[in-house]
């Protein structure tokens, strides 16, 4: 009982005893167990299996004319698919690296020079840049223009002016044949 706690037979010379060991061991096991129990709650909020299953999108490129763009949805985000004109390709390839905010060769951003495929989400704060449809502002570099905070992207989707820090990202994709791609 409470009255008989005065003498601790397990006490050693250095002032540590079995009780200290038990207290630390118990607390440690309890803390580790609680931390482990948190993981299912955290992982519960991650993308679920059915969401991950929608991670690829196939796109038929055949109806797209030269100089036309389409927007497809991949993982809930817009992907810009543009069949570039020879002029656009030429401009994109001729830009000196020193002029770029995030230097990147045009050749590194496309698998086939005709087809520019990138995620159409502004790298500043997530708006969708304009320039997909004819008549929309394309910005000072004739590519895309984000209306939210004025970021200008060139014909390779690289950031040239404005607050966005990075070029429009390129999603993983492959050509299944000449007119079909699989994104993701």
Under the rule (CB under 8 A), what is the footprint of another protein?
1-2, 39-41, 43-46, 48-51
Q: Identify which of 96, 2, 98 has the alpha carbon closest to the alpha carbon of residue 106.
A: 96
Helices (H) and strands (E) in the chain, counts: 3, 9
State in angstroms the smallest separation of the CB of 28 from another protein: 14
Give the pair of three-digit tokens for residue 52. 């991950």
Instruction: Output 37 or 97, the one with its CB closest to another protein.
Output: 37
Active site residues: 149
78 half-sphere exposure, CB direction, 13 A CA radius: 16
Q: How far apart are CA 165 and CA 135, in angstroms?
A: 26
State in angstroms the smallest separation of the CB of 44 from another protein: 5
Instruction: Output 7 or 45, the one with its CB closest to another protein.
Output: 45
State in angstroms the smallest separation of the CB of 172 from another protein: 23
Instruction: Output 41 or 97, the one with its CB closest to another protein.
Output: 41
Give the DSSP H/E element, type plus range, for residue 26. Answer: helix 18-44
What are the C-alpha distances in Å from 16 to residues 9, 11, 39, 162? 12, 6, 34, 64
State in angstroms the smallest separation of the CB of 119 from another protein: 25
Instruction: Output 32 or 66, the one with its CB closest to another protein.
Output: 32
């Amino acid at each position: 009982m409470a009255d008989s706690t005065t003498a601790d037979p397990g006490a050693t010379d250095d002032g540590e005893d079995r009780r200290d060991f038990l207290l630390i061991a118990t607390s440690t096991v309890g803390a580790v167990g609680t931390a482990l129990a948190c993981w299912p709650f955290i992982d519960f909020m991650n993308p679920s299996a059915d969401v991950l299953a929608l991670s690829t999108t196939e796109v038929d490129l055949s109806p797209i004319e030269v100089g036309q763009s389409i927007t497809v949805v991949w993982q809930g985000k817009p992907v810009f698919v543009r069949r570039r004109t020879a002029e656009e390709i030429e401009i994109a390839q001729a830009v000196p690296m020193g002029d770029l905010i995030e230097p990147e060769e045009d050749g590194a951003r496309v698998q086939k020079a005709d087809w520019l495929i990138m995620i159409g989400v502004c790298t500043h704060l997530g708006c969708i840049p304009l320039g997909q449809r004819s008549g929309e502002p394309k910005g000072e570099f004739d590519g895309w223009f984000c209306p939210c905070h004025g970021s200008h992207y060139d014909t390779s989707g690289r950031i040239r002016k404005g607050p966005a820090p990075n070029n429009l990202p390129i999603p993983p994709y492959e050509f299944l044949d000449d007119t079909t791609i699989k994104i993701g």
